[in-house]
């Protein structure tokens, strides 16, 4: 009868348990880190670059532009293909953006409009609605407007809305100047609209 080394037999389950514990701990640490990172970015308003040509400081020199080979223009009789709807999503020009915003109910001339995109069964959307309504009630010149994203898919594509809730800060001229994804804090919203209100903020 062959002898079995008891110590070698017992070390296998211990080693497997240790490996499993390390994997679980690494997964938990990763999840906690991602959660803290997401929480820190959630609801943070970021400036939106204005639509239109690049500023002169960013424009390429004329000599460099002239050196770039140009693609030949198609003949006038050629039938052009329709543009790819996914190309340039959320990069509409100022006139198109303004038209979409007014169709959604944004009133030009209002100093600051908080345009909220929501969806059904979205708990963060309800929390965002409360925060934005409080700010609109607190500050003169601020209007809160909520839109169902699922009912306005063309506007969602044009404005580059990828997640609900998303809040756009629209100025009096119908330009989107800031945007936030997630639930913003009241202080963040007030800070985002303050430059549009001048001395009217408390």
**What CA–CA distance (Å, rounded) separates 107 from 124?**
26
> pLDDT tens-digit profile of 123-173?
999 999 999 999 999 999 999 999 999 999 999 999 999 999 999 999 999
Per-residue pLDDT reduced to its tens digit, 28-44? 766 666 565 455 556 78
Are 194 and 169 contacting, i.e. CB atoms less than 8 angstroms apart? no
Handedness of CA 39, 41, 45, 50 (dihedral sign): negative
Query: How confident is residue 1, by pLDDT bands cut at 50, 70 and 90?
Result: low
Dist CA 162 CA 156 (whole Å): 8
Domain 88-200 belongs in CATH node 3.40.30.10: yes
- 143: buried, middle or exposed (CB in 10 Å: 19+, 13-18, 0-12)? middle
pLDDT in tens, 35-71: 654 555 567 888 887 654 434 433 444 443 344 444 4
pTM of the model: 0.62
What is the percent of the chain where pLDDT is above 70? 57
Closest CA to 112 of 201, 23, 27, 181: 201
Q: What is the mean pLDDT of residues 59-86?
A: 41
CA distances (Å), 181 to each of 16, 115, 117, 185, in order?
42, 12, 10, 12
71-88 mean pLDDT: 39
Give the residue-averaged pLDDT of 74-80: 38
Domain boundaries, the chain: 88-200
Best-predicted range by mean pLDDT among 17-26, 67-76, 100-109?
100-109
Residue-averaged pLDDT of the chain: 75
Q: Is it the case that residue 27 has pLDDT exceeding 50? A: yes
């Amino acid at each position: 009868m062959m002898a079995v080394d008891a110590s070698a037999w017992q070390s296998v389950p211990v080693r497997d348990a240790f490996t499993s514990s390390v994997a679980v701990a690494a997964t938990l640490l990763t999840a906690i880190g991602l959660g803290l990172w997401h929480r820190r970015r959630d609801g943070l308003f970021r400036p939106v670059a204005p639509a239109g040509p690049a500023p002169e400081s960013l424009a390429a020199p004329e000599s460099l532009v002239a050196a770039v080979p140009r693609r030949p223009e198609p003949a006038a009789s050629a039938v052009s293909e329709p543009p790819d709807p996914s190309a340039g999503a959320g990069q509409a020009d100022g006139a198109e953006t303004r038209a979409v915003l007014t169709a959604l109910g944004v009133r030009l001339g209002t100093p600051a409009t908080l345009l909220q995109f929501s969806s059904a069964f979205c708990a963060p959307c309800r929390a965002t609605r409360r925060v934005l309504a409080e700010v609109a009630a607190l500050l003169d010149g601020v209007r809160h407007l909520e839109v169902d994203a699922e009912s306005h898919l063309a506007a969602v594509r044009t404005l580059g809305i990828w997640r609900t809730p998303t809040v756009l800060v629209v100025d009096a001229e119908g330009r989107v100047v800031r945007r936030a994804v997630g639930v913003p804090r009241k202080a963040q919203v007030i800070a985002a609209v303050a430059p549009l209100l001048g001395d009217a903020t408390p």
